[in-house]
Chains A and B, each alone.
Chain A
Amino acid sequence: MIEIINLCKSFGPRRVFHNLNLTIATGETLVIIGRSGAGKSVLLKHIVGLIRPDSGQILIDGVDICSIRSITEVDKIRMKFGMLFQGAALFDSLSVWENVGFALIQHTSMSEEEIRHRVRECLTLVGLKGIEEMKPAELSGGMRKRVGLARAICMNPETLFYDEPTTGIDPIMADAITDLIIDLHDKLRVTSIVVTHDMISAYKVASRIAMLYAGKIIEVGTPEQIRNTQNPIVKQFITGAAVGPITEAEGLAI
């Protein structure tokens, strides 16, 4: 279980979060929606401890990740996480199998043979085969995302984070990735946190949806509740209308 309590964060004069509260239950798939630049990715990075908040707490199974100073302790918590980055963030100096097995190579004393076996397993789970020796630069965008996902699940994490998993790939591949998220959630019994603004994908994978707006979570609910929301801001976002309270608040900056 992950609890975010009164999270505040500013970058210079720009206030990203202001007393943000959110609870993520174990085993659910929470989709966080919001406009580009609303701070969805920043929220994910806070949870995995890449960014420290100005104030507030992020409790992961009761432990506040923000107050841990020791790198090894933070790393221990991170071993329970797997993260798929927006651009997959594969290490381009390493081959595909070295990327997927990176954590195993770094943190375990497994033999190369065992690691290669595990890498093959993970790649099969994301629907890839026979690309172990290729370099990330030789892969297409969709394949990169899958390899990134294989890397995220390699250490059997308890929680998976997806940062815009369907951005930058064609709709068919996007739907395949969406199916993969559901598939992995069922097979690996993980908690999934997905950040996206792709509403089709969001309705499909979510057990709950949370809307991030102006530094706060303004509404949380099941896909059904969000679809029928009375909140005008959420309504404008999910319908994708150019005119509404969000654009009004931002003035002419459409």
Chain B
Amino acid sequence: MSFALWFARLGEKFLNLAIYVGGVSILLVQTIRFAIMGPLDRFQVFDQMKKIGVNSLPIVTLISLFTGVVLALQSAYQMQKISAQLYIASLVSLSMMRELGPVLTALIVAGRVGAAITAELGTMKVTEQIDALETLATHPVRYLSVPRFLALMTMLPILTVYADLIGIIGGYMVGVYKLGIGSGIYIKMTFEPLMLKDLFTGLSKSIVFGVIICIVACYEGFRTQGGAEGVGRATTFSVVTSFILIIASDCLFTALFYFAF
């Protein structure tokens, strides 16, 4: 009896997962189709770009600066033992560009912007504003999802570039002012081990992260039910899901780039 119950629950869980994956995929396809088809509301896109990109810059700056500082200090601890402090520069720049820049920025934006998107769309859903959009012959995906999609896809890589640079500056501050490495040699060691591939794999990752954040947040918003409590639940779920998907896809991408190139 308990086995049958357990099995039924498993089946239900699997069904819910299938519904989730299916819903997210359909939303993604619809969003891309509307984005290509147009027409685009330029103001909406710019407004979202400002909310997502420009307004996220202070926190991204703060966190990537501290990450750069911590990275340099922590590696100094070990590197000094084998008197290889010079390589701190390379270590900071490589790990910022390849991994920490894109992933940290994506996590910050998922927490800051993804939550806001879900909360906004969820509130619109429970107050029937989404239905109102439809009765005004405007598709919610076109009006709400497409501007956020385009803004996230373009702004996240640009934020990542900022994060890369600021992280490197953080490492530079530690390396030059605390550990006494020469400024010129530090800059040289920062860029010497880097290849364009490192930069562009990082940026292509962040485009994918942008897509994940947008689609997960919009999907959770669109399917919100049950008033203020429902909005809260949807927001939490949206942030948790994008965190998991960002880390999982990062793992996948790193493996892919490692084996394929």
Contacts and interface: CB of A to CB of B under 8 A. Distances in A.
Direct contact of A and B (CB under 8 A): yes
B12 interface: no
A82 B134 CA distance: 11
Contacts of B128: 85-87, 89
A107 B143 CA distance: 12
A102 B137 CA distance: 10
Interface in A85-126: 85-87, 89-93, 102-103, 106-107
10 contacts: A49-B134, A50-B135, A78-B134, A78-B135, A78-B136, A87-B127, A89-B127, A91-B133, A106-B136, A106-B137
Interface string A134-160: 000000000000000001000000000
Interface string B124-160: 1001110111111111000100000000000000000
Interface of A: 45, 48-50, 71, 75-76, 78-79, 81-83, 85-87, 89-93, 102-103, 106-107, 151
A82 B133 CA distance: 11
B131 A50 contact: yes
How many chain B residues sit at the interface, stated as a range, is: 10 to 19
Which of A48, A106, A107 has the most chain B CB atoms closer than 10 A to its own CB? A106
In the complex, the 7 A-B pairs of residues with the closest C-beta atoms, listed nearest first: A75-B137, A89-B132, A89-B128, A83-B135, A78-B137, A85-B128, A103-B136
A78 B133 CA distance: 11
Contacts, number: 52
A79 B129 contact: no
Contacts of A107: 137-138
A144 to B, nearest CB: 11
Contacts of A82: 135
A71 B139 contact: yes
A219 to B, nearest CB: 28
A48 B135 contact: yes
A128 to B, nearest CB: 18
A90 B134 contact: no
Given A50-B135, A81-B135, A83-B135, 20 more contacts: A50-B131, A75-B139, A78-B135, A78-B136, A78-B137, A85-B128, A85-B131, A85-B132, A86-B128, A87-B128, A89-B127, A89-B128, A89-B129, A89-B131, A91-B129, A93-B120, A102-B136, A103-B137, A106-B143, A151-B136
Contacts of A89: 127-129, 131-132
Contacts of A71: 139
Contacts of B132: 83, 85, 89-91, 151
A130 B136 CA distance: 24
A83 B134 CA distance: 10
Nearest to A161: B135
Contacts of A90: 129, 132
Interface in B86-136: 120, 124, 127-129, 131-136
B137 A50 contact: no
A75 B133 CA distance: 11
B121 to A, nearest CB: 11
Contacts of B134: 48-50, 78
Nearest to B136: A103
Nearest to B47: A93
B120 to A, nearest CB: 8
A82 B135 CA distance: 7
Nearest to B34: A71
Nearest to A76: B137
Nearest to B41: A106
A56 B144 CA distance: 31
Contacts of B135: 48, 50, 78, 81-83
A82 B137 CA distance: 10
B249 to A, nearest CB: 30
Nearest to B129: A89
